[in-house]
Amino acid sequence: MAISGTVKIKSINGITPEGDGWNRRLEVDFDDMEISDSFKADEIVGEYNVDDLLEAIGDADVATWLSEQGYEVSLG
């Protein structure tokens, strides 16, 4: 999956071309990218495994969200 958009960054540290022809891509190294104004969460979550997302969010936040949705949650 790939997404397209415009983002704000502080600086570009380097640009490296990769591949040839139709598969050509650019690898861009940058500092301080602002993505929240450019992409909605549902546009980027498909890039990640569900377990990785839940791990990154953390048990407490997942449990709080589930409780707010009406589920009974017990952290054990």
In this prediction, residue 29 carries a pLDDT of: 95
Residue with tokens 């009406």: 70
In this prediction, residue 27 carries a pLDDT of: 93
What is the distance between the alpha carbons of residues 75 and 67, in angstroms, rounded to a whole number? 11
What DSSP character marks residue 4?
Answer: -
In this prediction, residue 1 carries a pLDDT of: 66
In this prediction, residue 28 carries a pLDDT of: 93
What is the distance between the alpha carbons of residues 15 and 26, in angstroms, rounded to a whole number? 6
Q: Which of 3, 68, 1 is nearest to 40 (CA)?
A: 3
Q: What is the pLDDT along the chain (76 residues), one digit of tens a residue?
A: 678 889 899 999 999 999 888 889 999 999 999 888 888 888 888 889 999 999 999 999 999 999 999 999 988 7
**Strand pairing report for 11-18 and 25-31:** antiparallel
Backbone angles phi, psi at 16, to 5 degrees: -125, 120
Confidence (pTM): 0.62
